[in-house]
A and B are shown apart, each in its own frame.
Chain A
Amino acid sequence: MLYIDLKKWRSELTGKKTQAKEKSRHETGGFIEKRKRSFLRILRMIKKEFKLLWTDKFNIFLALILPPFIILLMAWTATTHGEPSAVECVVVSYDSNTFINPNNYTESKMDNYSTPYIQAVNKSELLDPILPSPPPNKTGYIPFFNASEDIYAMEKARTYLLDEIITIIIVIPIDFSEMLALGLPAMISAIPDSSKILNIQSNLNAVQDSIKIFVADNNLTPQFILEGFEEFSIPEDLSLEFNFIVSLILPLLSFGLALVLTILVVVKEKPIARLLLTPVKRHEILISKYITYIIVLIVQSLLLIISSILNGLYIVGSVFDLFIALFMLGFVGIALGLLISSQSKTKTEANQYFFMSFIVIIILSGMFIPIGSMPFYLQIVAWLLPLSHAGPMLDGILSKGKSVIGFDFYWLLGIGLVLLALSFIIFKRKQYEA
């Protein structure tokens, strides 16, 4: 078999005048045929890219295992997921103090609704009735300070807040019972520990719960619901912490991992020099890399979304919009990664470019410092960068139910296409010596 093949081959190779033309058969033909061959070459290159990707197990881990693992880790760390922990609080009541009606200057000392409210607070499972050292307690379990009897009531409550014994002070105002008796909206004030920004909403949710119980037990109209309180908030049965962190981590993972996966793709593939001595075109090599990593990105984005939803991600908008948003961020990451990889001469250089660009993009993304509080010129730079658009875009989809299509989407698309074009230009001009 071997002998016959070689004989045939040799006969083909020797003594034929038109052999050059025959040999170049692969590169002749019409436009469609050439495109077809180009398409087939790209397909084989994609296959090669996947095989190369598969040989680097750490890359597989980075691309497909790490993202859902991080989401799972976030869910574990956000302990309030599904079962919000009870909030320690004290109630300070001014209701027994003398109230002077500003309309007719009549005085009243009604406090008949204070006790039912304290009972509602005790009933609420979201508010913690147990304290390490219970303060003077007049009604049930919740520490209760009556400001009409103790002029230092609020100061004492603040001391608890300072010592982190409690995380919120519930204040019953002076006109509480009077307003309810007149059938007017009453008010409950809440003073949460604002140093723990992530806990604010869960604290307020707990107070809200006590108000709901109070309204139900006393057949009152639900006029305690505070305006704007529930706007864009996370439902009580879902973890606020997890949702807050995930909205930051999703764009970071999508963009960052795409960047990390692609920064070395061109620079470390030494045999490109030899590939370029075959009929393969430079753009075919780069297109195959784009397609490969876009496929990886699609899988990665789906894994991120699925793992996030399974762990309690609250999405007001559409899941498809969220997918498109993550895909777009990842696409910009791939384009930037391939640009860095095409531009760099060595792996070290690529890593340096990566570090430099990633740090700047993260710092100016608005995740740590609000973009609005930056100096004006730095704000312009920040808005030019991709991650700065991730926050508004994802917040819109997750909390407000907005469509992905908007300024941020188009801006990311624009950045991605510019980076893609630059990567092709630079790769086309890159010097290779086999």
Chain B
Amino acid sequence: MRHDKIMTSANSDDVVVDVKYLNVIFGTKRVVRDVSFSVNRGEIIGIFGISGAGKTTTIRVLTCQIKKKYWIGNVKVTGISPAKKRNHAKILSNIGYVPQLETLNLYYDLKPMTNVETFASTYGLDTNDAKKIAENLFSILDIPEDTWNKKLKNMSGGEKKRVSMALGLIHQPEILFLDEPTTGVDAYKRYSILTYLKKLNRELGTTMFIISHDMECSLVCDRAAIMRNGKLLEFGNPKDLVASLPSNGIMAMFSIEDLNENKIEIVRKYPAVKTLIRTGNEAIEVLLDDFETNISKLVRHMIKKGIKINSMTRATATFRRFFQIRIQEEDEKERREKEEKGQVDKKEKAPEEIKKQDGEKRKNKAKKGKKRGETK
């Protein structure tokens, strides 16, 4: 794991979230496994992973949504442990939460300012103070002033999203948790939401947690975590993580005529090739050891093997690609481990082997049947 260094380098004064060996267990299922990380004040943290990776569960522990009986570990949020129920109110007054779906989390029939009043009152904020803060936030988030006192249901999707963000910040929290802030939003709005988040972080200095499976969120993150099957695979600066790939993440993007599995296997088996990803019908991306030395050798090898290269581009891997590579690596690692333990799935075995085993089973059954008949 690449996050150990970062963990130790954090200044304890600035640490707002500290998680050590967090495990979440629901019944017999371990949903989060030994997750440890710490977050400094003012950082934007992205937590990425496919569905069921454990990212939302981890955040739900931090936001006091999961009872202590379901988790173990040492967790501190703004210096307070969510393990004790009496601390929940203190933690909740120090954090803000922007849920995924506005439809389920805003009062659509009320005005944005009434929503503000409602949520601000829960923190004991004075209505006038809350309105002033809301006006500031709405201005930062470019929510048109003429919509402030109209019903929320008449606002556009993007505006609702921004109102939701403003509500999360209304009590000036130290940490803001955002659950899938870009999900269900078109490409243009996605960028605009990320820009607003960065703007809020820059202007207010609020620490932000972005939970997402949209890798574009990494563009605004100071550090990103990748989770898979409840484990924290990576935690670090997205650029550093990409640079940790072979050849600092420099990769070759090939467009190959009539790309098929045989051709892919030829490239994959080339010794310098570390990782190969098929990215399209005729496109692959290849990570090599010592890119500058080996790329020309690889190209010559491919031509020699009759592979027709339409084009080749040299590029630096994106965080999205890093994520894919790491998940793929882990999948392969897990598969190898299973194979070693002899737990390989029946479907994955050679067909001859399965037939052989089935034949033996049938013979055994027939023998047993004969024996029973004899005893009768």
| Interface residue ranges, A against B (CB under 8 Å) | 2, 5-6, 9-10, 12-15, 17, 19-21, 23-24, 26-28, 37, 40-41, 44-45, 47-48, 51-52, 55-56, 270-271, 273-275, 277-281, 433-434
The 7 closest A-B pairs by CB, nearest first: A44-B121, A278-B122, A55-B109, A20-B78, A24-B90, A280-B122, A270-B104
Collect the chain B residues with CB atoms within 8 Å of residue A24's CB.
Answer: 78, 80, 89-91, 93-94
Collect the chain A residues with CB atoms within 8 Å of residue B203's CB.
Answer: 6, 10
User: In the complex, which of the residues A6, A26, A281, A433 has the most CB atoms of chain B within 10 Å of its own CB atom?
Assistant: A26
Knowing A20-B80, A274-B97, say if A41 contacts B90 (CB, 8 Å).
no
Knowing A6-B203, A44-B117, say if A279 contacts B93 (CB, 8 Å).
yes
One of A9, A55, A275 near B204 (C-beta < 8 A)? A9
* Nearest CB of A to B296, in Å: 51
Complex alpha-carbon distance, A43 and B140, angstroms: 30
Knowing A14-B205, A23-B94, say if A2 contacts B118 (CB, 8 Å).
no
- B92 in contact with A44 (CB, 8 Å): no
- B93 in contact with A26 (CB, 8 Å): yes
One of B13, B80, B91, B94 near A17 (C-beta < 8 A)? B13
* Nearest CB of A to B204, in Å: 6
Complex alpha-carbon distance, A307 and B124, angstroms: 42
- A19 in contact with B174 (CB, 8 Å): yes
Knowing A6-B203, A13-B172, say if A23 contacts B78 (CB, 8 Å).
yes
One of B89, B117, B124, B205 near A40 (C-beta < 8 A)? B124
**Cβ of B123 under 8 Å from chain A:** yes
User: In the complex, which of the residues B91, B92, B106 has the most CB atoms of chain A within 10 Å of its own CB atom?
Assistant: B92
Collect the chain B residues with CB atoms within 8 Å of residue A271's CB.
Answer: 104-107
Collect the chain B residues with CB atoms within 8 Å of residue A14's CB.
Answer: 41-42, 205
Question: Please, what's the 1-or-0 string for B173-187, where 1 marks a CB less than 8 Å from any CB in chain A?
Answer: 110000100000000
- A279 in contact with B92 (CB, 8 Å): yes
* Nearest CB of B to A278, in Å: 4
Knowing A6-B204, A17-B13, say if A279 contacts B89 (CB, 8 Å).
yes
Collect the chain A residues with CB atoms within 8 Å of residue B99's CB.
Answer: 273-274, 434
Complex alpha-carbon distance, A47 and B115, angstroms: 11
What are 20 pairs between A and B in contact, CB < 8 Å?
Answer: A5-B132, A13-B205, A15-B14, A23-B172, A23-B174, A26-B93, A28-B90, A40-B121, A41-B122, A44-B117, A44-B122, A45-B118, A48-B107, A51-B110, A52-B110, A271-B107, A273-B104, A274-B97, A279-B92, A434-B104
One of A6, A26, A52, A56 near B124 (C-beta < 8 A)? A26
* Nearest CB of A to B11, in Å: 11
**Cβ of B139 under 8 Å from chain A:** yes
- B104 in contact with A23 (CB, 8 Å): no
A48-B110, A273-B105, A280-B122 are known contacts; what are 17 more A-B pairs with Cβ within 8 Å?
A: A2-B136, A6-B203, A13-B172, A13-B174, A13-B204, A14-B41, A19-B78, A19-B174, A21-B79, A23-B172, A27-B90, A55-B110, A270-B104, A271-B107, A278-B119, A279-B92, A434-B97
Complex alpha-carbon distance, A360 and B122, angstroms: 40
Collect the chain B residues with CB atoms within 8 Å of residue A51's CB.
Answer: 110, 114
**Cβ of B65 under 8 Å from chain A:** yes
Question: Please, what's the 1-or-0 string for B108-136, where 1 marks a CB less than 8 Å from any CB in chain A?
Answer: 01100010011101111000000011011
Complex alpha-carbon distance, A55 and B153, angstroms: 12
* Nearest CB of B to A5, in Å: 5
**Cβ of B63 under 8 Å from chain A:** yes
- B97 in contact with A277 (CB, 8 Å): yes
* Nearest CB of B to A201, in Å: 50
- A6 in contact with B136 (CB, 8 Å): yes
* Nearest CB of A to B13, in Å: 5
* Nearest CB of A to B340, in Å: 38
Q: Which of B264-282 contact A (CB under 8 A)?
A: none
Question: Please, what's the 1-or-0 string for B192-236, where 1 marks a CB less than 8 Å from any CB in chain A?
Answer: 000000000001111000000000000000000000000000000
- A44 in contact with B118 (CB, 8 Å): yes
**Cβ of B103 under 8 Å from chain A:** yes
* Nearest CB of A to B172, in Å: 6
One of A28, A47, A279 near B122 (C-beta < 8 A)? A279
Closest to A431 in B: B65
* Nearest CB of B to A47, in Å: 8
Complex alpha-carbon distance, A10 and B109, angstroms: 33
Closest to A434 in B: B99
Complex alpha-carbon distance, A284 and B18, angstroms: 31
Complex alpha-carbon distance, A26 and B171, angstroms: 10
Collect the chain B residues with CB atoms within 8 Å of residue A433's CB.
Answer: 65
Closest to B101 in A: A270
Closest to B91 in A: A24
Closest to A19 in B: B174
- A9 in contact with B172 (CB, 8 Å): yes
* Nearest CB of A to B126, in Å: 10
One of A10, A37, A275 near B205 (C-beta < 8 A)? A10
* Nearest CB of B to A51, in Å: 6
Collect the chain B residues with CB atoms within 8 Å of residue A28's CB.
Answer: 90
* Nearest CB of B to A90, in Å: 65
- A13 in contact with B105 (CB, 8 Å): no
- A13 in contact with B206 (CB, 8 Å): yes
Closest to B88 in A: A279
User: In the complex, which of the residues B78, B122, B205 has the most CB atoms of chain A within 10 Å of its own CB atom?
Assistant: B122
One of A20, A27, A41, A44 near B174 (C-beta < 8 A)? A20
Collect the chain A residues with CB atoms within 8 Å of residue B122's CB.
Answer: 41, 44, 275, 278-280
